[in-house]
Structure 1
Amino acid sequence: MTDPTRKALVVRGGWEGHAPVEITDLFLPFLKDQGFTVETSPDLDVYTDAELLAATDLIVQCWTMGAITAEQSRGLADAVRAGTGFAGWHGGIVDSFRGDIDYLRLTGGQFLMHPPGFVDYTVNLAPSQHPVTAGLADFAVHTEHYWVATDPANEVLATSVFPAGGDRAQDVVMPQIWTRTHGAGRVFVSAIGHKADDFDVPEVRAVTERGLLWASR
């Protein structure tokens, strides 16, 4: 008899300023309620376990900065290319493993900078019926405001505006939430989520939960 239960792997570590354990713990009950069995790993060597990754429907990563070996990076990319979903938020996915080009190709984006401290800004949703954002409206946040370099092939679901001033002669519209595919796998990225209470904003929580489900095999 086939086991219908989906499997999620939460890989968490790196710079502790993004509270990888505390914040990923916010989503473990949700994943279990959605029928996932959940395994957590504090070690990137899990990405070299091809058998485990092939049996995993969703990888949720919260690992800021740090270094990834060529074998680990290749194992992750191969698993996603074969259909395992990959998802995450903020520095845990777009400020990871700086300089690994294959990893950047997987995520479709890289953190470059943010203004000092926490700022107020509006997240503007694209006019789309994508299941991650359908039925939601623009919303306000007070947190770090990420400036990112992104792949034009991404499907951008939400943006924000960096207003003109300083080095900027004009307003700059910046992707904040996007999806993409990598082979047979789906990838979800949100730039929002520096601190646990960012997810107290109902729209941030909803988009993140929907993104995890969308990315899953």
Structure 2
Amino acid sequence: MTSDARRALVVRGGWEGHEPVKITELFLPFLREHGYDLRISDSLDVYGDAELLAATDLVVQCWTMGEITREQSAGLVAAVRAGTGLAGWHGGIVDSFRGDVGYHLLTGGQFLMHPHGFSDHTVTLAGKHADHPVIAGLTDFRVHTEKYWMVTDPLIDVLATTEFEADADRSRPVTMPAVWTRSWGAGRVFVSAIGHKPDDFDVPEVRALTERGLLWASR
């Protein structure tokens, strides 16, 4: 690998139900093909290594739930603010470190619940962002997976949404962000709520927007 290769750090762990190893492995060949020198960590201690993060162009995180120390969280936030990109999907990025508000501010959203089981539902792309590199040329698509209910930051750029119908708990339908990007200082953050199971990425649009999101977020 040449010395000017871009560097990606894949941080994976937490709850095994989201298969962090199996799913992140889906994207390692793609990153290598796009010139990234990869480092993989099964420990959050890397977020405390300021020198390593400063030399990292992209952090791909797949770490559901778990605990992060104040120093680790501050290290990740500072690195993104300085220009390191952060990207992830589903619970690996928006159901992480539930007690850390600084982390939630960084990602721009936090998972609260999902209806029981998997459902067939439509992911609707945001027309006003149709030319965004993450979704350009794609169309609305269907998935059979979990649908996330989240709280989100009004400063995110929502690229795709899902619909929650009115029910016993919700008096009216709600349009929920499903894919978004945001800037954080000099860094970029990409989030997709889709990706509970490996075959979610068999949907061509899911695979495409996730891969594009990784590249978009990178320094």
Q: TM-score, normalised by structure 2?
A: 0.97
Give the share of equivalent positions with the same residue, in percent.
Answer: 72
What does residue 168 of structure 1 align with? 170
What SS does the aligned partner of 1:62 have? strand
In the alignment, is residue 7 of structure 1 matched against residue 7 of structure 2?
yes
Where do 5+ consecutive residues of structure 1 fail to align?
none
How far does residue 124 in structure 1 lie from its aligned partner after superposition?
0.2
Whole-angstrom CA distance in 1 between matches of 2:105 and 2:71: 16
What does residue 148 of structure 1 align with? 150
How far does residue 10 in structure 1 lie from its aligned partner after superposition?
0.1
Whole-angstrom CA distance in 1 between matches of 2:37 and 2:218: 13
Whole-angstrom CA distance in 2 between matches of 1:171 and 1:106: 28
What does residue 193 of structure 1 align with? 195
What does residue 69 of structure 2 align with? 69
Amino acid of the residue matched to residue 179 of structure 2? I
What SS does the aligned partner of 2:13 have? strand
Where do 5+ consecutive residues of structure 2 fail to align?
none
Whole-angstrom CA distance in 1 between matches of 2:4 and 2:122: 40
What does residue 133 of structure 1 align with? 135
Render the CA deviation track for 1:144-184: whole Å, top value 9, x for unaligned. 10001000000000001001121222110000000001110
CA RMSD, 1 decimal:
0.8
Whole-angstrom CA distance in 1 between matches of 2:121 and 2:165: 10
Amino acid of the residue matched to residue 151 of structure 1? D
1:202 to 189, 199, 204: 204
Whole-angstrom CA distance in 1 between matches of 2:62 and 2:123: 22
What SS does the aligned partner of 1:11 have? strand
In the alignment, is residue 212 of structure 1 matched against residue 214 of structure 2?
yes
Amino acid of the residue matched to residue 10 of structure 1? V
Whole-angstrom CA distance in 2 between matches of 1:100 and 1:165: 31
Whole-angstrom CA distance in 2 between matches of 1:16 and 1:159: 26
How far does residue 3 in structure 1 lie from its aligned partner after superposition?
2.9
Whole-angstrom CA distance in 2 between matches of 1:82 and 1:13: 25
Whole-angstrom CA distance in 2 between matches of 1:170 and 1:77: 36
What does residue 101 of structure 2 align with? 101
What SS does the aligned partner of 2:154 have? coil
How far does residue 98 in structure 1 lie from its aligned partner after superposition?
0.2
What SS does the aligned partner of 1:77 have? helix
How far does residue 116 in structure 1 lie from its aligned partner after superposition?
0.3
What does residue 40 of structure 2 align with? 40
In the alignment, is residue 85 of structure 1 matched against residue 82 of structure 2?
no
What SS does the aligned partner of 1:21 have? helix
How far does residue 216 in structure 1 lie from its aligned partner after superposition?
0.1
How far does residue 64 in structure 1 lie from its aligned partner after superposition?
0.2
Amino acid of the residue matched to residue 24 of structure 1? T
Whole-angstrom CA distance in 1 between matches of 2:17 and 2:159: 27
Whole-angstrom CA distance in 1 between matches of 2:118 and 2:75: 35
Amino acid of the residue matched to residue 171 of structure 2? A
How far does residue 5 in structure 1 lie from its aligned partner after superposition?
0.7
